[in-house]
Amino acid sequence: MATVTVTKPAREDLAPGAVLCDHCTAKCCRYFALPIETPEAQQDFDYIRWYVIHGETTIFCEDGSWYLMVHNKCDHLLDNHRCGIYHQRPVICREYTTDDCEYEDNWIYERYWEVADQIAEYAEAVLPRKRGESIRSPKPPLLPLL
């Protein structure tokens, strides 16, 4: 059985006036991202770890700003990747344009975290150490003599 690979046309190859959404899988309707404050202290990173342990969430940075991304498709996205409430869609959807949309975006971010351990490791790497604190792991206790 042969596998058919379908490729979408490049944005610049579409005819003038063509609707970009006719060739897209509605990436913009499969998540939302909210800006969050840039973490500066351990407690800030703990909150970010808390976001990530709630499943289907990730954190990313773009142009120096931090974002919480919630991976959850819109309840009104149809199987054909179109909007089921197009004429009653929310204002944020009405204001969204395809001028700079993610049609050809490859989902690469400046920084991207998927699990809490990644956040903890990043925090450890970027937060200043306390006075006298070593970058090495603490020395383990001696084993008892038998």
> How high is the pLDDT of residue 133?
63
Phi, psi of 57 (to 5 degrees): -130, 150
CA 41 to CA 53: how far, in whole Å?
19
Q: What is the mean pLDDT of residues 36-49?
A: 97
- C-alpha separations of 60 from 27, 49, 57, 70, 98 in Å: 16, 13, 10, 11, 22
Check if the beta carbon of residue 28 is closer than 8 Å to that of residue 14.
no
Whether the full predicted model's pTM is greater than 0.85, yes or no, is no
Grouping H, G, I as helix, E, B as strand and the rest as coil, residue 35 is strand
Q: Give tens-digit pLDDT for 23-39.
A: 888 999 999 999 999 99
Check if the beta carbon of residue 51 is closer than 8 Å to that of residue 125.
no
Checking if the pLDDT of 6 tops 70, the result is no
Residue ranges per domain, the chain? 25-126
Q: Which DSSP string corresponds to 3-24?
A: PPPP-PPPGGGSPTT--GGGG-
Which is more confidently placed, 138 or 78? 78
Structure tokens at 134: 């070593």
pLDDT bucket at 134, cuts 50 / 70 / 90? low
